[in-house]
């Protein structure tokens, strides 16, 4: 039996819910808060009827944020029946239990926005190239594919990259741009993910130490004769791949 059949069937119980240390509702709301910071600003120029597909949408927390922001043409898919059940319990009824990749291959539908949050790291290199090439063909002119994935240049990378047994590949900002451009995207930007925390007092402390840590990391690069250009240090990175034509 393939490992994916076992691990994805109860993914919330054995990974996302377990690793978060909070209950399903609290995790859903925390994800909503972070997506509102990281993702909503990237789609502010799209019309509310933009056609949106969330690939491997999990509990549907991003779709919930988009719905609350006024977007009304939403579709999400996830292979985990447990995650889909959770999405429906949270009122996200646009989520279907289905193989998101198989759907893209078989469907003739195209989209203005395709999202892949914490998903592309679950594919082997060969599978990822196939997926990205396919996604490019499914975007309307002027559309975007937006991904969040672990950043290999972050300190203590293994906490995020190897904290999930189902992860297959890891990238940094440079390799993310490389593979997306090679797969046909017209331009690619890679942004830092948010490191903010919700507690105001803890956020002040975190921000101070994060500034110190980044300064030290930049000094390390300088001391080893390397450029800090196109190097990100946040645990995750946000990839914005554009289909201009």
At residue 62's C-alpha, the angle toward residues 61 and 67, to 5°, is 100
Q: Is the pLDDT of residue 240 over 80?
A: yes
Q: pLDDT tens for residues 26-80?
A: 889 999 999 999 999 999 999 999 999 999 999 999 999 999 999 999 999 998 8
Rounded distance, CA 105 to CA 99, Å?
A: 10
The reported pTM is 0.90
pLDDT of 20 over the 90 cut: no
Q: How confident is the model at residue 196 (pLDDT cuts 50, 70, 90)?
A: very high
Instruction: With beta carbons less than 8 A apart as the criterion, state whether 177 and 128 touch.
Output: no
Task: Give every strand in the sheet of 95-97, ordered side by side.
Answer: 95-97, 74-78, 52-55, 111-117, 139-150, 236-243, 187-192
Q: Residue 191: which H helix or E strand, with range?
A: strand 187-192
pLDDT of residue 101: 86
pLDDT value for 18? 54
- Are 144 and 136 in contact by the 8 Å Cβ rule? The answer is no
Give the pLDDT of residue 12: 64
Question: In this predicted structure, what is the pLDDT of residue 130?
Answer: 95
Q: Which pLDDT value is given to residue 15?
A: 66
Q: C-alpha 198: how far from its chain's center?
A: 20
Task: Calculate the alpha carbon distances from 77 to 4, 74, 80, 101, 212 in Å.
Answer: 16, 10, 9, 9, 40
Q: Does residue 224 register a pLDDT over 80? A: yes
pLDDT digits (tens, 9 = 90+) for 93-150: 999 999 888 999 999 999 999 999 999 998 999 999 999 999 999 999 999 999 999 9
Per the CB < 8 A criterion, the answer to whether 95 and 88 are in contact is yes
Q: How confident is residue 163, by pLDDT bands cut at 50, 70 and 90?
A: confident
Q: Where are the alpha helices (DSSP H) in the chain?
A: 3-7, 11, 17-20, 24-38, 61-68, 81-89, 100-106, 125-137, 157-161, 173-182, 200-223
Q: Per-residue pLDDT for 1 more than 60?
A: no
Tell me, what's the pLDDT at 79? 85
Distance (Å, whole) CA 235 – CA 163: 12
Q: In this model, does residue 231 exceed pLDDT 70?
A: yes
Q: Sorting pLDDT into bands at 50, 70 and 90, what band is 229?
A: confident
What structural domains does the chain harbor? 3-243 (3.40.50.150)
Tokens 């019309």, residue? Answer: 47
């Amino acid at each position: 039996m393939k490992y994916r059949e076992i691990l994805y069937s109860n993914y919330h119980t054995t990974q996302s819910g377990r690793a978060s240390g909070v209950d399903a509702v609290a995790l859903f709301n925390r994800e909503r808060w972070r997506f509102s910071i990281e993702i909503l600003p990237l789609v502010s120029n799209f019309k509310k009827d933009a056609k949106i597909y969330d690939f491997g949408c999990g509990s549907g927390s991003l779709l919930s944020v988009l719905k609350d922001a006024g977007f009304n043409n939403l579709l999400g898919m996830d292979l985990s029946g447990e995650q889909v059940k959770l999405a429906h319990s949270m009122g996200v009824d646009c989520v279907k239990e289905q193989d998101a990749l198989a759907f893209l291959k078989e469907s003739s539908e195209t989209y203005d926005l395709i999202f892949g949050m914490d998903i592309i790291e679950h594919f082997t290199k060969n599978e990822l190239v196939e997926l990205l090439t396919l996604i490019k063909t499914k975007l309307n002119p002027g559309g975007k594919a937006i991904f969040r994935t672990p950043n290999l240049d972050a300190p203590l990378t293994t906490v995020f990259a190897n904290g999930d047994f189902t992860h297959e590949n890891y990238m940094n900002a440079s390799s993310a741009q490389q593979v997306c451009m090679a797969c046909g995207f017209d331009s690619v930007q890679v942004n830092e993910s948010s490191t903010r925390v919700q507690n105001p007092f803890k956020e002040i402390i975190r921000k101070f130490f994060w500034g110190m840590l980044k300064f030290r990391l930049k000094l390390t690069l300088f001391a080893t004769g390397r450029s800090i250009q196109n190097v990100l240090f946040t645990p995750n990175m946000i990839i914005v791949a554009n289909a201009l034509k």
